[in-house]
């Protein structure tokens, strides 16, 4: 923090005293300058401590007043007058004029040379610059560790905390990737600026809106920027803050420009890790740490149901936003959707990012289910929960379904695995599963759609992309294979419960 006039006057070794304008002594001193001119203002830039022996001061009251007013109007921090060479006392006209403008005047005793005052100011400025450099270095190291540890999300949170500011990162189309701080509509303000500049901000922008100073910085890339970093603070950022923002821009650009080969390799590693865990295997401790899951943490499974789409298509759309969110995750494509393993406290954030990505990338909403928390080492036991919760969600695009919100499924979870297996067999569903496996048919999927839509031929057929007559033929075959009339209410209930029990296996 740069020295103020009051702090300078408090240096006892100098013997300075404030004789006028004490209310203005909070101004910072940018330099100390001895100058003996009647009008020194052409050689001043503001913030200086002007020192004079008074040799050039006018003798008349009006001239002395105008001299003080010129200095105050030029933004000078204070006036220091020596009382050991030309003057023995400071003229009352100068004191009165300084009080009138809240402009501080310091009395310099005869034994204090101007060089001592200048050296004190210069030493403090040098120390302040050193503090700024150290602050920037510390901040850069903190941001680098945040980026390495948690990617974009942790980096944005760290920058926000370091600057005591609101921070937001958006992609080139204005979609929010990460945000931190109290200004919740920062993304909207960035999008408005994008719209005002025809969808592309070419350089840094500084905006004053409401009580906020907002800086928007492009994240450089070949061609259009990867996106934009916006920082909103109540006051303008100081030099250290601006340097930290510049460093964050570099880190964010590097993070968003990871070569495709690296991203593919990381993706394959996450998929292999989840596949291993689902099969009952154990992750190597070092690999678990590398993937962001040290010490067997508590996690949940977020399952995104593909519906009528290919699960691979769903994965392609949601993976990039999940990756840039910065939270550690594992991901695997299953037959009917995509399974994500994330820390328990990231579930809502990842679900929201996934839903938003699906809406923008697929032009449709998806069903999302969330399992109960478990340890990473036992994650295989809850994959079925998340899948079942997603498939049990009645309304596509509604908020993600937690397994505990689904009454029937929660009851099934309380049953031992043997009981659920018995239900699958007694209902005839196992016969249908075996038939599909032997004949490469999709009767189980057909049954699921038919029961989900309450036996409505057209709706269930449309959900599968088949003709209603094909649907009727399949349902007839299902009744034949299971030995149950699918239109019978009791059998329908048994088959529906069996389907849910199968999801939990």
DSSP 400-419: PEEGGG-HHHHHHHTS-HHH
pLDDT surpasses 70 at 501? no
pLDDT surpasses 70 at 161? yes
* 438 and 323 inside one domain: no
In the listed set 193, 221, 256, which residue is the last one of a domain according to the structure?
256
**CA 173/CA 196 separation, integer angstroms:** 13
pLDDT surpasses 50 at 391? yes
**Please, what is the average pLDDT of the chain?**
84
Query: Domain of 164: which CATH number?
Result: 3.30.450.40
406: which residues sit within 8 A by CB, 6+ positions away?
A: 388, 389, 392
* 182 and 161 inside one domain: yes
**Residue 410 confidence (pLDDT):** 47
Exposed, middle or buried: residue 403 (CB in 10 Å: 0-12, 13-18, 19+)?
buried
Rounded to 5 degrees, φ, ψ at 55 are: -65, -30
* 235 and 266 inside one domain: no
Determine how many CB atoms are found less than 10 A away from the CB of residue 281: 11
Candidates 115, 113, 67, 70; CA nearest to 91 is: 67
**Residue 263 confidence (pLDDT):** 67
Query: Domain of 13: which CATH number?
Result: 3.40.1390.20
- 135 within some domain: no
**Residue 113 confidence (pLDDT):** 94
- 120 within some domain: no
Candidates 352, 331, 351; CA nearest to 341 is: 331
Total number of residues shown for the chain: 505
**Residue 95 confidence (pLDDT):** 95
**Residue 112 confidence (pLDDT):** 93
**Per-residue confidence at 256, pLDDT binned at 50, 70, 90?**
confident
How distant, in Å, are the alpha carbons of 264, 326, 473 from that of 343? Answer: 22, 12, 45
Count of structural domains, the chain = 4
Contact predicate 93/61, CB 8 Å: yes
* pLDDT tens profile 306-345: 877 888 888 888 887 777 666 788 999 998 889 999 988 8
- 212 within some domain: yes
In the listed set 376, 407, 438, which residue is the last one of a domain according to the structure?
407
pLDDT surpasses 90 at 262? no
Which two tokens mark 77? Answer: 């921090």
**Per-residue confidence at 414, pLDDT binned at 50, 70, 90?**
very low
pTM to 2 decimals? 0.49
pLDDT surpasses 80 at 488? no
* 217 and 320 inside one domain: no
- Domain of 89? 5-112
């Amino acid at each position: 923090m740069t020295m103020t006039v009051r702090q300078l006057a408090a240096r006892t070794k100098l013997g300075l005293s404030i004789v006028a304008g004490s209310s203005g002594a909070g101004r910072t001193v940018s330099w100390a300058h001895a100058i003996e001119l009647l009008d020194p203002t052409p050689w001043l830039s503001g913030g200086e401590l002007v020192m004079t022996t008074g040799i050039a001061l006018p003798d008349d009251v009006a001239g002395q007043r105008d001299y003080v007013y010129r200095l105050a109007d030029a933004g000078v921090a204070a006036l220091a007058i020596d009382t050991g060479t030309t003057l023995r006392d400071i003229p009352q006209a100068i004191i009165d004029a300084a009080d009138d403008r809240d402009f501080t005047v310091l009395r310099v005793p005869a034994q204090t040379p101007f060089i001592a005052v200048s050296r004190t100011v210069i030493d403090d400025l040098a120390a302040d610059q050193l503090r700024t450099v150290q602050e920037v270095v510390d901040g850069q190291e903190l941001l680098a560790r945040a980026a390495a540890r948690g990617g974009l999300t942790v980096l944005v949170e760290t920058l926000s905390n370091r600057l005591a500011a609101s921070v937001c990162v958006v992609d080139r189309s204005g979609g929010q990737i990460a945000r931190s701080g109290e200004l919740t509509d920062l993304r909207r303000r960035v999008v408005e600026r994008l719209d005002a500049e025809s969808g592309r901000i070419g350089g840094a922008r500084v905006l004053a809106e409401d009580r906020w100073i907002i800086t928007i910085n492009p994240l450089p890339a070949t061609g259009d920027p990867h996106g934009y970093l916006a920082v909103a603070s109540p006051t303008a950022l100081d030099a250290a803050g601006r340097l930290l923002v510049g460093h964050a821009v570099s880190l964010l650009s590097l993070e968003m420009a990871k070569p495709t080969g690296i991203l593919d390799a990381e993706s394959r590693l996450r998929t292999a890790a989840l596949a291993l865990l689902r099969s009952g295997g154990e992750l190597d401790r070092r690999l678990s740490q590398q993937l962001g899951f040290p010490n067997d943490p508590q996690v949940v499974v977020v399952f995104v149901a593909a519906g009528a789409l290919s699960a691979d298509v769903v994965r392609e759309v949601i993976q990039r936003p999940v990756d840039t969110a910065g939270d550690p995750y594992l991901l695997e494509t299953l037959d009917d959707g995509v399974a994500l393993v994330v820390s328990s406290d990231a579930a809502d954030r990842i679900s929201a990012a996934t839903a938003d990505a699906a809406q923008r990338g697929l032009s449709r909403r998806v069903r999302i289910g969330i399992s109960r928390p478990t340890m990473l080492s036992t994650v295989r036991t809850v994959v079925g929960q998340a899948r079942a919760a997603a498939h049990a969600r009645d309304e596509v695009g509604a908020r993600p379904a937690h397994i505990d919100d689904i009454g029937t499924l929660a009851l099934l979870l309380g049953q031992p695995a043997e009981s659920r297996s018995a239900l699958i067999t007694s209902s005839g569903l196992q016969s249908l599963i075996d038939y599909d496996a032997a004949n490469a048919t999709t009767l189980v999927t057909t049954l699921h759609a038919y029961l989900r839509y309450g036996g409505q031929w057209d709706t269930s057929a449309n959900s599968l992309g088949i003709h209603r007559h094909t649907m009727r033929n399949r349902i007839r075959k299902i009744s034949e294979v299971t030995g149950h009339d699918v239109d019978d209410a009791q059998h329908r209930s048994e088959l529906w419960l069996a389907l849910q029990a199968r999801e939990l296996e």
